[in-house]
Amino acid sequence: MRCGIQQRERVAGEVGTRLGQIAQEPLRGYETDDEAEGAATGLLHTLLMICKFPDPVGRQNTAWECYSSILGLLRPENKTNLNKSVLLYFKMGPGYSSHAKDQCDRFFARLGEEEPNKKTAADHIMGGTQMPQPSDYPRHVNENLFQILYQHSACRRGPGCRKSRSCGFIDDHPLSHPARLYLDGNPQIQSKHAQFELVVSTADMNYWQDLWVGVPVQTKTRKRLVGFNLGRDASSDEDEEEFEEASSLDQVSPDYFCQILRDPSFAKLRVRFIQGLGLVSLRPPAALERFLCPGQGLPLCTAVESYRLKDKDKIILAHAIAHSFWQFYGSDLMRERWTSHNIWFMQETDEQQHPKDQLALRSYVSLDFDGQNGVAESMDNPMVTHPFPHILALAIVLLEIGLRRPFKSMDHLPLASRLNRDHGAANQLLNELERSHWASSTQRDIFTRVVANCLDQRLFSIDQTSKHKKSKGSTTDVAASRAGGGEFQVDERRRRIYAKVVEPLSRLVNIAFKSDPKCISYLSRCREAETSQQQLRPPVASFHAGKTIVAREWLDNLKHISRHIMMLRRQKPDQAFAPVKIAILDTGYDANLPFFSLEARAKCIRGWRDFVGGGKGSDTDEMTRRDDYGHGSLMARLAMESAPLANLYIARVAKDTNGLSLGSKSIVEAIRWAGLEEEVDVISMSFGFPDDDEDIAKAIEDVERERNVVFLASAGNNAAYQGESFPARHRSVISIRATNCDGTFSASNPPIIDRYSNSVLGTFGDDLPENIQREISGRFGPSICQPGSSIATAVTAGIVASTIAYAEALSSVLPIPKEQSPVQSLKKTQGMLRMLEKMAPEQTGHHRFVNPIWFWSEKSDPWKAWAAMYDSVSQLMYRRYFTSLSTVSSPSTIKMKTWFLPPDFTFTPDGSLQLGSVITHPGRPTNVLASPRTDPSIQLPEIQIITEKNHSHSNEVSRTGGASLFAKFIGFASGSVSYEASRRNLLQYGTVDHEVRSLVTPFSKEFLTSLTSLDSVKEHIESGLYGKRPIYLVSGLRVTNESFTVTKEKGSGNQAGISASGPTGPVPVEVGGSLSGGVERAKVDSYETAPGIVFAYRLHVIRPRSNKSTQSVMFSSSKAFWSDRAEPEPMEVLDVTLDVVGDDLEEEEIKFDQDDLGDGEYCLHQS
């Protein structure tokens, strides 16, 4: 404009005037279509060309790039150059200036053409005349839908269930049929019935049945509670007298889901709910529009990473989820928060029953009827930053969609802490979303504002004192509405959810995209799958198998490791080496197969138990050893071929894949039998379930707690529609995936859902030798010998057994101190996991190909092999926190008592640490809230006194190590090398008599109330950050009758030696000269205590219950000085790692410091 006025350039003035008119247009970004966006891009490009003239401007610039560049040129420091460019452009003649004018006129004319429609569209958006308001169902619709699904989802005992195991009935526990509700952004009403689409399945998710459920919108007794217009009836000409019509319909029974799932119909069934009658079936069923794959599907957290989401796809998906969220908000259908882990996509199959490569943009939410994961609509906790957990969860889901990656939540935290952490992390990611690249910055900005609205808790906080309409003739409704989460507040929050979240997304979908709800988008994979077609996988709860295979020589190479172990063992003929024990939990094994009929192999199978037949099969009865399916026979053979020196213990836990769904009890018994009775070293499980099983998890944890056992399980093969299986995803189990002989991971492996997790392991699960294929396929059919993670798991079991055997042989043959042997650490899941990771060549990403053939060839020298094993588990071996355990005889109780050492031995039983004292922290007895000495109102219960004779205790930590120095010596010494570095900490207490003083339990209600009513105690209880805090009562003391000696000794030292040698064999033999040296350092402190001091104390923790009564529990901790058990428990020593300390949730407030001692060694001590 300045150029037109000052330089009298008419065209420049016209262009400036037109730009001013365009700037005054109240155009909203989501109202622009693709044609308007194109015109705007052209105009911005022309303006950039004017501002940079005569410098050229590339034609590839987008609208956003042009706009950003123009903003940069408008800065004050560029004013002189900008004026010159504009003047020069319009001085070049009409060929240039007319082009700019034409672009302005074109865009302004476009706006002029759109003006009538634009105003109408705006009116429709704001007033709802053309764009219909969404169908907001009355509350009773959601209530009836929930009751229908709740009643019919239970798998009931009936003729259908007894005939078919697919319903998953176990004993008297009616398992729920998995049910998922389709999240429809355009709900439908037909014949005055709200239509809901859902899919239900058998417990093993082998078949998904489509259902349309109709729920009446209007009733005579209920009124609509939310102020949106009901959608128009799409079939108003149908008979309105539906109750009379219902007489000709089939009423369905409570086990309707069981019936329709017994025999797949491959049709869409229609049912309708009729008030006073129940659910009726409508005939005929409709043809299926899509066929769903078996399996659990793909969770949203995986889909956003694995498939390409365009901006339009993001907005359509977000709208469907947000609209359904608003539709069901505050109802029982939203007991559980909606997250990317319970929103699912269902993979479809083609006409050949092969999974499609593309994924339909149709989301479902899984329905949880047990209520265990339920979260309130709002939280009455002043310390929570976002008191509406469901709305916060919606914000996180939308963030994951917008950023196309999953959100990492700390599920181990308490709910309030987790919500606060999620809220803060989501706000940080909101900034990233604002800067992310979208094709349309306008759409991105609107999407970002929607997420920001969800994260702003102030938008949804309702003033409880605000006036609202009261229900006629009802006072209870008013009271409910004033309570947190009352109906009035829920309804008001729903209105705001629609206005702030759903409506902006709806405008984008319906105006910017003009999306057709009948048109379903399909997403393409981010990475193309293997070119070979994958056959339809077996049911999800399955023994994992895969496709056709080609023979290779990898299995023969694995046997070379066992031959080398035999050579080492022969050098110690006087030592007996116990075979490593492998347990195979599968379908049994066929003892009549030629492979197992050889006497030497038959002797290697040392244990057998048939849990399908009631666990009555004996170890010696050959007639009971059977396998009708073949999967177990293949797994047993692979483990035996991979580790010929191992002994096998085989448990038959299911007849076949179909029986596995009901095999939870058998698997639990088999785990305990193998781990506790047979004391195996490795438990291999080549099967998986879609859902976690608490009983199986508990059995694994019980065995792990009692013994060192390596658990292995197959990750699964249904990559198209299933995540990692259970028990492979259990924290105490090593999950195994399949690779070919070259280390390429199979496309059938499950995706890595947690992108922040550690690496995933895979090994040989393909390319079986022909002789194995021929024998197994000839007996059981070709389907058993298909590759997959089952084969890889059995092979890994052999690799693990050979590794343990190799470590035992090297530790015996090489001159290594016993305490430096890595064998026991390798028999732990964590230790073996680190060892298997060492066996993987360097690879990018998360995938690690476990290749012992490569690893041991690289470590052919025995010393290098031993050093590699030692290095992989050294931290696990020496990161220990020792606790001493002692047995105390007490006739009054047989419960475990845990004792704590005081900070020093200067406390007297009549001082601050006395019976009845109330302290704030179990590890800090000086933080006294109240005691009988200072508060006479405390009336103690009866005190029991017992004298125990000649107590002597010690707490010693001794370390020897030096794996890194082994590697250094080996590099330049051809002879034998020995090195030992040690650290020693000893705390020893002299023999002394203990007088044990204890408060007699159980405590009375009056006594506990007198403690919690004290002002100082009450103030501490109420000061918790996330709830009420516990207090600790000193309920027992150990008082020494005489003085005793305390000895503290700290020492360190090292010894090293190098001996020249001749040609080295498998084990170096020392010949010739030698060189050795060493250093020892020690410090000893000793003193005597005064008589009559407190040696240790015992606690009870007191917690207020939700019903406002008070309970007391014996406070027990693995971090205490010692714990005494009921007789006749023997004295024992517990090794507690830093991970164990972190997992102990009984003492969340207790902190431990970790000191690095060097060489990978650590010491833990209480702060």
Kindly tell me if the per-residue pLDDT of 116 is higher than 80.
Answer: no
- pLDDT recorded at residue 726: 92
Q: What is the pLDDT of residues 404-443, one digit of tens each?
A: 999 988 877 888 999 999 999 999 999 999 999 998 888 8
- 981 pLDDT tier (thresholds 50, 70, 90): very low
SS3 126: helix
Run of H or E residues at 1054: strand 1045-1061
Tokens 């000793």 correspond to what residue?
1086
For residue range 319-367, list pLDDT tens digits in order.
Answer: 999 999 999 998 888 888 999 999 999 988 887 777 788 899 999 999 8
State the catalytic residues.
586, 631, 790
**Diameter of the chain measured on Cα atoms:** 113
pTM to 2 decimal places: 0.48
Mean pLDDT of the chain: 74
Q: H or E segment at 2?
A: helix 2-6
pLDDT in tens, 1003-1029: 887 888 888 888 888 888 887 655 678
H or E segment to which residue 292 belongs: strand 291-292
Q: For the chain, what's the residue count? A: 1167
Handedness of CA 542, 546, 550, 554 (dihedral sign): negative
Residue 1149: predicted pLDDT: 44
In 3D, which of 736, 687, 746 has the Cα closest to residue 710? 736
β-pair partners for 948:
994
Residue 192 to residue 135: CA distance in whole angstroms: 11
Distance of alpha carbon 968 from alpha carbon 911, whole angstroms: 57
Distances (CA, A) of 757 to 305, 375, 845, 1102: 15, 27, 11, 38
Strand-strand pairing, 179-182 and 1045-1061: unpaired
DSSP 425-469: HHHHHHHHHHHS--S-HHHHHHHHHHHHHHH-GGGG---TTS--P
Per-residue pLDDT at 165: 38
pLDDT of residue 363: 94
CA-wise closest residue to 356 among 207, 539, 525: 525
**What phi and psi, each to the nearest 5 degrees, are found at residue 749?**
-65, 145
pLDDT digits (tens, 9 = 90+) for 215-250: 988 765 444 433 333 344 444 444 445 555 555 578
> What's residue 640's pLDDT?
93
* Residue appearing with tokens 């800090």: 924
Angle at 735 between CA 734 and CA 740, to 5 degrees: 125
pLDDT at 547: 36
Q: Based on C-alpha coordinates, what's the Rg of the chain?
A: 37
Least confident of 200-204, 369-373, 917-921: 369-373
Residues 6 or more apart whose CB falls under 8 angstroms from that of 698 comprise: 668
CA dist., res. 286 & res. 898, Å (int): 66
Q: Nearest Cα to 588, choosing from 551, 557, 624?
A: 624
Residue 141 predicted with pLDDT over 80: yes
pLDDT score at 239:
44
Whether omega before 54 lies within 30 degrees of 0, making that bond cis, reads yes
Q: pLDDT value at position 130?
A: 39
Full DSSP string of 184-206 = -SS-EEETTEEEEEEEEE-TT--
pLDDT digits (tens, 9 = 90+) for 607-616: 999 998 755 5
For the segment 879-887, the average pLDDT, to the nearest whole number, is 34
Dihedral, CA of residue 308, residue 312, residue 313 and residue 317, to nearest 10 = 150
Domains in the chain, start-ordered, CATH in brackets? 2-127 (no CATH), 139-289 (no CATH), 298-470+504-523 (1.10.510), 542-858 (3.40.50.200), 879-1142 (no CATH)
What is the rounded distance in angstroms from the CA atom of residue 1033 to the CA atom of residue 1114?
9
Assigned token pair, 18: 């037109």
